[in-house]
Homo-oligomer: A and B are copies of this chain.
Amino acid sequence: MAAWRERLAGVRGVLLDISGVLYDGGAGGGVPIAGSVEAVARLKHSRLKMRLCTNESQRSRGELVGLLRRLGFDVSEAEVTAPAPAACQILRARGLRPHLLIHEGVRSEFDQIDTSNPNCVVIADAAEEFSYQNMNKAFQVLMELENPVLISLGKGRYYKETSGLMLDVGAYMKALEYACGIEAEVVGKPSPEFFKSALQEMGVEAHQAIMIGDDIVGDVGGAQRCGMRALQVRTGKFRPSDEHHPEVQADGYVDNLAEAVNLLLKHADP
C-alpha cells in the first residue's frame, strides 16, 4: 500500500460515521470510544471540514446529538446527515403516505408527514419494535398495495452495542423483500444519493473527501463507489476478516478514530 501521505493527499473534508466510531451504544446510552472525543475536537479545530454521516434511525437527530453531547462530543444537529430527514423529503416529493415501522425515538422526525391511508411502508432500526405483530402489519400493508413501495432507512446487517452484536434494519428489510417479492429503496448509506447530500452539505467534492467508518460495506464500499476515499476503524462492528473482504478494500485500516485523525492532521492538513 502507498504511504499515508499519498493516500491522504488532497483531503479537504471528513465524513464520520457515528456508532462504532464515536461511541458504542448500549445500556444507558453507551460509552465513547477511547480517544474519539478528543479526536473530534482536534478535527473541528483543524482546517479540514467535518460532517457526521450516520445511518442511525432509532433516534431523531436531536436525541442523537443530545446523547453525543452528554458523552462529551462537541457536535450540533446541523452537522448531522441522517436518513429520517432524507426519507421525509422523498415522501413529500412523491406524495407517499407511510405506514411507519420505526422506533419511538425517531417518530418526531415524521411529525409533519401524513400517515393516513398508507400507500407505502417505511422501516428503520426499530429494535424491540420488530415484533412479529409489527412485522406482519407492515407485510400486510405492502401486500394490499398494487405497487408496493418499501423504503428502508439504511440496510445494515448488524451493529455493535456494549452488550454485543445487534440485528440492524437490513435484516428486516430482507425479510419483507422476500415475503412480498419486492425490492426496497434504501435511504442512507450506502446509497450514493445519501453520500452526495452529505458532501453537498459539507461543501466538498467527492475526490477531496474521506469517509471514516466501522462498516466495510456500508461505509467504506459505499463511499468509494461515490468517488471518495474511505478508512475503516478497528472499533465498533469491525471484524478482523474485514481486512480481507472479497469485494471491498479500504484506503487504509486504523485502530480507531484517534489514529485516523492523527494521520489526517499530519498528512492532509500539515
A132 to chain B, nearest CB (A): 4
- CB-CB under 8 A from A197, the residues of chain B are none
- CB-CB under 8 A from A133, the residues of chain B are 128
- CB-CB under 8 A from A174, the residues of chain B are 174-175, 177-178
Which residue of B129, B165, B179 is within 8 Å of A132 (Cβ)?
B129
Docked Cα-Cα span, A130 to B171, in Å, equals 13
Q: What's the dominant secondary structure at chain A's contact region? A: helix
Cβ of B135 and Cβ of A130 under 8 Å apart?
yes
A139 at the interface (CB under 8 A from B): yes
Cβ of A132 and Cβ of B128 under 8 Å apart?
yes
Contact A167-B128, Cβ < 8 Å, known A157-B178, A158-B139, A178-B174: no
Q: How many copies does the complex hold?
A: 2
Residues facing B in A9-47 (CB within 8 A) are none
CB 8 Å contact bits of A175-192 with B (1 = contact, 0 = none): 111111100000000000
A108 at the interface (CB under 8 A from B): no
Residues facing B in A145-195 (CB within 8 A) are 157-158, 164-168, 170-172, 174-181
A143 at the interface (CB under 8 A from B): yes
Cβ of B132 and Cβ of A130 under 8 Å apart?
yes
Cβ of A165 and Cβ of B140 under 8 Å apart?
yes
- CB-CB under 8 A from A178, the residues of chain B are 157, 170-171, 174
A237 to chain B, nearest CB (A): 10
- CB-CB under 8 A from A166, the residues of chain B are 136
Which residue of B129, B139, B143, B170 is within 8 Å of A179 (Cβ)?
B170
CB 8 Å contact bits of A202-213 with B (1 = contact, 0 = none): 000000000000
Contact A167-B135, Cβ < 8 Å, known A158-B179, A178-B174, A179-B158: yes
- CB-CB under 8 A from A168, the residues of chain B are 179
Cβ of A176 and Cβ of B165 under 8 Å apart?
no
A127 at the interface (CB under 8 A from B): yes
- CB-CB under 8 A from A143, the residues of chain B are 158, 165
Docked Cα-Cα span, A164 to B141, in Å, equals 11
Query: Interface of A with B (CB < 8 Å)?
Result: 126-133, 135-136, 139-140, 143, 157-158, 164-168, 170-172, 174-181
A-B pairs with beta carbons under 8 Å apart, 16 shown: A129-B132, A130-B132, A130-B135, A132-B167, A135-B171, A140-B164, A140-B165, A143-B165, A157-B180, A167-B175, A167-B179, A171-B175, A171-B178, A171-B179, A172-B175, A174-B178
